[in-house]
Structure 1
């Protein structure tokens, strides 16, 4: 499938926000299974004090959702590439609904994200899916929308 180098070339995400290590299954343009191993060396753990209990090292749910959503970005960029088009803007995971978090993800866990494209509508992508550690369900996303917006229309300032 795709290894880290191929993913890095395909989607616009870069270190430290490229949160997919490998693609293990893909039904082009419709369904993808990706993996991401959470390490204690992740930037989100920098500066944490010694002596904290295990719960303090729960992987942030925002990063869990971003990692899951990047599977959709891979499917989307594969479709754009197959249509001989260029990406025309920034990819944004704009909203998620019916999200259920079942358990904490900790350093050493390998996430397996299953992402399904429910619909492509212009520069918008509708998704759903689940994430696992081993066979244990970690999270569910009932629906999500990702959008592509021209870079000049995206403000990174607060």
Structure 2
């Protein structure tokens, strides 16, 4: 199964500039997913960088890399749930996250996500992120819980 950007928008509540996946290239519901995020120099995180800054200043923020992986995990969980199950997944915790090297504009990041366990409205995922043959991050455990959409709307 492959999901294009429009289908991701239908699944996730995120919108520009925080929808951090471009497509899902493969998914086996309940098991695994491979998603793609292309880093571009036009993203808001690069807006304040002054002319002449060194190249390392363009490293993609670690927080956005983690969020992008988490969105892949959310898509996998959403596609793995029983039809008619309501609610939105909300990120709650990450453990054993290791960032091995930065990503830069022009890099295509591939998130490989595994759904490890689903228990009472909570899901646990793990995996890694790659640029070509280089592993750039490892995620030992990422947890999300599901909350009713109306409860989230009341809190905001």
Q: Structure 1 length as normaliser, TM-score?
A: 0.90
Contact 2:29/2:77 (CA < 8 Å) preserved in 1? no
2:84 is aligned to 85
Paired residues in the alignment total 153
Moved over 6 A (4+): none
CA shift, 1:150, in A, is 3.6
1:11 is aligned to 12
Q: Is 1:140 equivalent to 2:154 in the alignment?
A: no
Contact 2:25/2:36 (CA < 8 Å) preserved in 1? yes
| Residue aligned with 2:87, SS | coil
Match of 1:106 among 104, 108, 111: 104
| Residue aligned with 1:73, SS | helix
Q: Structure 2 length as normaliser, TM-score?
A: 0.91
CA shift, 1:47, in A, is 2.1
Contact 1:115/1:129 (CA < 8 Å) preserved in 2? yes
CA shift, 1:84, in A, is 2.2
Consecutive unaligned residues in structure 1, runs of 5 or more: none
Q: Partners in 2 of 1:122 and 1:14 — Cα distance?
A: 28
1:44 is aligned to 45
